[in-house]
Amino acid sequence: MKIKTLFVQLTFFSLLLGSLSVHAQSVDEALNTINESSLKAQLNFLASDWMEGRESETKGGFMAGDYIASMFQIFGIEPCGDMEYTFPLAGQRGVMPEAKPSYFQKFNIIKYKMSDKQSFSLIQEMNGARLAKNFEYGIDYNVIGIETDTEIDAPVVFVGYGVENDSLRYSDFAKINVKGKIILRFDGYPGFRDTTSSSYKKLKFSNLWSDKDKWAIKAGAIGVINLTTYSSKDLGIARNLPFRYESDGTESETAPQKYYDKKAVLATDSLQKSLPVIRISARLQNELTALINIDIFSFEQDAKNNLKSASKEINGVRIGLKSGVESELMTVRNILGIIEGVNKDEFIIVGAHYDHLGKYNGYIYNGADDNGSGTVGVMSIARALKATGKKPEKTIIIAAWTAEEKGMLGSEYFVKNFPGIYRIALNLNFDMIGRSSVKDTVGNKCGIEYTKIYNGFQELSQKHIKEYGLDLDVKYTGSERPMGGSDYASFAEKNVPVISFMAAMHPDYHRPSDEVAKIEWKKMENITKLGFLNINELANSDLNKYKVPSLTK
């Protein structure tokens, strides 16, 4: 009896070892599908001139989406986008329409730009008189953050830098009412220009611009005028110069089209909570600071040294603003595939944005690194996951996001409309993984941002780098809720844990010179392999084991 039991145990143990060996072999074989030749083949087409810069709503953007969907199909990735219906031919009675998922998640965006209908008035009321000074758009002020024609006539209040910090109990809004008012605020925060100051060390913000607008909206402000402690320059371009538009190597008598001339928002059933933000010229700022009765140098030094809010009311001053926009409705598409896991209700989302800036003034912005590299990385990871031949424990959704360059609209739409948002265990993001910074002379540095509570992600990456001999020097940045200018921020906003890979910023960022010829293939290959190894293990693990116990209490 004991011999029989021992035999059964040994047989089970040998089968287990055999299973582990086969699995290790399958992972190694899958890893081999990620190679320079495959990466080149995909990126050479995705970032070619035929794609015309892949702007989300253009022919090139749609062509890129079709290409990605076809590659998903070749790799055996099933579609999980919108349902499509095929209707029988006329006369085929009794044949019902057939419904099946597509690779495309379609949605609409509203694309808009500022029109010529603009006016700005500084109104003073004193001794029963009313004095209005009118300023011209493009010379004394510019405005952003408006998605529909807007008129404002409101009182003004000064809020210092317009920042908050809960841990220090510091707030420029705490002792002043800004509801229904336009706020005047300085750029930056106390001590931001003196890195040795205690204020700088205490108040460093990771997402200052977006946070400042969120604080202003939360406090009830209906508009912002930005002031600056730097030397101010006039906003406008002198109109009598023969070539008054000189940028990106072009000289022109007429204003060249720019990607950033137009903004975009999701087309939803309500307006976004937007905030008109006005930047002003030196002479308009001087008019306003005289009304505040504040010396800029003294304000800056006092805020830095004392960390005390200087917010105050401004009596008898109003701002009148009329700002018009020109809008158009556009359809765009996310590309979605799925690898169904044993658990159909627990998801890992692996994504990269495939859109770029498009074509302007005859230049094609091919976006080879931004973000052709990340898109090809995700496509290659999807192929490798299928090549393991093993069904993962968690269900993996492979996503190519659109309209990231317009404000992460593709991932925002997905997050808002995915019915299982609270069943997403993890989001992995890949953005610009094919280049090195000027300072990276070795060419092996990479950044990984992750949700701080899952510090085990760092150990996991280091294990795979060492085990598979990947030449990567990784800088890890953990945050409670990582936020930034890529699609992982849409998931972090909903408290979904994230891991985001990025190689580097470089001088070709958002320029026509971001070409395939400059891609560093070995670096891109190593980052893609690390991404696959991490995803493959995380998709088959209990994520709780990667949490830091001290941070979960």
Which band of pLDDT confidence, cut at 50, 70 and 90, is reported for residue 352? Answer: very high
Backbone φ and ψ of 379, nearest 5°? -60, -40
484: tokens are: 């930034």
Which band of pLDDT confidence, cut at 50, 70 and 90, is reported for residue 19? Answer: very low
Residues 387-416 have pLDDT tens digits of 999 999 999 999 999 999 999 999 999 999
Which band of pLDDT confidence, cut at 50, 70 and 90, is reported for residue 7? Answer: very low
Q: What pLDDT was estimated at residue 13?
A: 42
Mutual orientation of helices 374-387 and 2-32 as an angle, nearest 10°?
150
- Residue of 413, 395, 373, 409 whose CA lies nearest to 36: 373
Residue, of 272 and 383, whose pLDDT is higher: 383
Answer yes or no: are the C-beta atoms of 436 and 503 closer than 8 Å.
Answer: yes
Residues 367-376 have pLDDT tens digits of 999 999 999 9
Average pLDDT over residues 240-255: 75
Q: Could you give the residue ranges of the DSSP H alpha helices within 234-373?
A: 282-292, 296-306
Average pLDDT over residues 10-33: 62
DSSP 271: -
Residues 143-194 have pLDDT tens digits of 988 889 999 999 999 999 999 998 888 999 999 999 999 999 999 999 998 9
Q: What pLDDT was estimated at residue 24?
A: 61
Residues 126-140 have pLDDT tens digits of 888 999 999 999 899
Average pLDDT over residues 342-356: 97
3-state secondary structure of 370: helix
Residues 114-128 have pLDDT tens digits of 998 999 999 998 888
Q: Is the pLDDT of residue 509 over 50?
A: yes
Q: How far is Cα 198 from Cα 192, in angstroms, rounded to an integer? A: 10
Q: How far is Cα 483 from Cα 502, in angstroms, rounded to an integer? A: 14
Mean pLDDT of the chain: 90
Q: Is the pLDDT of residue 93 over 80?
A: no
Average pLDDT over residues 309-319: 93
Answer yes or no: are the C-beta atoms of 178 and 149 closer than 8 Å.
Answer: no
Backbone φ and ψ of 141, nearest 5°? -160, 155
Q: What pLDDT was estimated at residue 25?
A: 67
State which amino acid sits at residue 402: T
Q: What pLDDT was estimated at residue 22?
A: 47
Segment of 125-134, 166-175, 284-293, 526-535 carrying the highest mean pLDDT: 526-535
pTM (predicted TM-score): 0.86
Q: Range with the lowest mean pLDDT among 174-183, 304-313, 372-381?
A: 304-313
- Residue of 38, 40, 41 whose CA lies nearest to 30: 38
User: Residue 36, Cβ neighbours under 10 Å: how many?
Assistant: 12
Q: How far is Cα 160 from Cα 183, in angstroms, rounded to an integer? A: 9
Q: What pLDDT was estimated at residue 11?
A: 43
182: tokens are: 């336009």
Q: How far is Cα 380 from Cα 350, in angstroms, rounded to an integer? A: 11
Percent of the chain clearing pLDDT 70 (strictly above)? 91
First-to-last C-alpha distance (Å) of the chain: 50
Domains of the chain by range and CATH?
33-82+331-552 (3.40.630.10), 110-327 (3.50.30.30)
Backbone φ and ψ of 92, nearest 5°? -85, 80
Place of tokens 């029989």: 4
Residue, of 457 and 256, whose pLDDT is higher: 457
Answer yes or no: are the C-beta atoms of 467 and 531 closer than 8 Å.
Answer: no
Helix then strand then coil, in percent of the chain rounded to 5, is: 35, 30, 35
Percent of the chain clearing pLDDT 90 (strictly above)? 72
Residues 52-81 have pLDDT tens digits of 999 999 999 999 999 999 999 999 999 999
Q: What pLDDT was estimated at residue 536?
A: 97
Exposed / middle / buried, residue 451 (Cβ in 10 Å: 0-12, 13-18, 19+)? buried
Answer yes or no: are the C-beta atoms of 121 and 137 closer than 8 Å.
Answer: no
Q: Is the pLDDT of residue 9 over 60?
A: no
* C-alpha distances out from residue 283 to 74, 446, 455, Å: 61, 44, 50
Q: What pLDDT was estimated at residue 234?
A: 65
3-state secondary structure of 244: coil
Which band of pLDDT confidence, cut at 50, 70 and 90, is reported for residue 260? Answer: confident
Which band of pLDDT confidence, cut at 50, 70 and 90, is reported for residue 552? Answer: low
Q: How far is Cα 249 from Cα 234, in angstroms, rounded to an integer? A: 22
Q: How far is Cα 77 from Cα 214, in angstroms, rounded to an integer? A: 39
Q: Range with the lowest mean pLDDT among 287-291, 517-521, 525-529?
A: 287-291
Which band of pLDDT confidence, cut at 50, 70 and 90, is reported for residue 104? Answer: very high
Residue, of 282 and 349, whose pLDDT is higher: 349
Q: What pLDDT was estimated at residue 73?
A: 98
